[in-house]
A and B are shown apart, each in its own frame.
Chain A
Amino acid sequence: MIKVLLFANLRDIAGASQIELPLGNMVQVRDLLADLVSHVPGELIEALSDESAMVSVNQKYAGWDAPLFDGDEVGILPPVSGG
């Protein structure tokens, strides 16, 4: 399984802070983002499609082409606004 964590506005849109998806045929982060389409509201996909959201794999920033393995934790990170 892949544990997907959603934060801030993305979590509000999805109505969930965490989604578990089977690894299935997913190879890269971008496969996961494509698969998310069938699990979350369309507005979330819109929010993701401008690619302003960053992604992390196992709590490290990663590119959309990063490889995925069973048990990975993937964070979908809206533009940060700390400080």
Chain B
Amino acid sequence: MIDVVICEQDFDVGEQYAQVCALAPRAGAVVFFVGLVRDLYDSHDSSETIEFLELEHYPGMTESLCQEIIDQARQRFPFDLARVIHRVGKIHASEQIVMVAVASRHRDNAFQAAQFIMDYLKTRATFWKKEVGVKGEQWLGRKESDLSASLRWENNSTELK
């Protein structure tokens, strides 16, 4: 099973769950995080809704970075298996955009590893989002809240700053 998948197609969480369970038969905990596209603009302070996101990435570098992030998470919170799926291309509001799955013996490592992977993916992995809608097109930058979410791991604390 491949740890990192970057693709345009949507994914089936039920199917992924069955695969993860089959490949980690000794796991006692499976944590799934699924990110959905919000309908409101992030780049404008408005109640207008976006039509879709356009996602691009740096092929090759993105996969290596995601794998590195998984490896770092595994060192801190040993687990049996982790999988990241990130979609690129055109993704409409309320569609699935990202999935992080972690299977481990006990729940704590699965929860923490999933959160670690997601936090680093947001701030390190080479993806870029453009919002498209009635307010026009706007590339999104990195959010301060995402940055502080990833920094908490560097301070060796699990508390949000």
Contacts and interface: CB of A to CB of B under 8 A. Distances in A.
**Contact size class for B?**
20 to 34
Contacts of B141: 52, 78-79, 81
Interface in B123-160: 123-130, 139-143, 146
Interface residues of A, number: 17
B61 A56 contact: yes
A15 B140 CA distance: 18
Contacts of A79: 141-142
Interface string B19-63: 000000000000000010000000000000000000111101100
Contacts of B140: 81
Main secondary structure of the interface of B (DSSP, over half): mixed
Interface of B: 35, 55-58, 60-61, 64, 86, 97-98, 118, 121-130, 139-143, 146
Contacts of A80: 122-128, 142
Contacts of A7: 56, 58, 126, 128
A9 B139 contact: yes
11 contacts: A8-B130, A12-B139, A56-B58, A79-B142, A80-B124, A80-B128, A80-B142, A81-B140, A82-B98, A82-B128, A83-B97
Nearest to A83: B122
B55 A82 contact: yes
Contacts of A77: 58, 126
Contacts of B118: 83
B61 A8 contact: no
A81 B142 contact: yes
Contacts of A5: 58
A52 B121 CA distance: 18
Contacts of B121: 82-83
A80 B123 CA distance: 6
Contacts of B128: 7-9, 78, 80-82
Interface string A48-60: 0000100010011
A20 to B, nearest CB: 17
Interface in A1-30: 5, 7-9, 12
B60 A59 contact: yes
B58 A82 contact: no
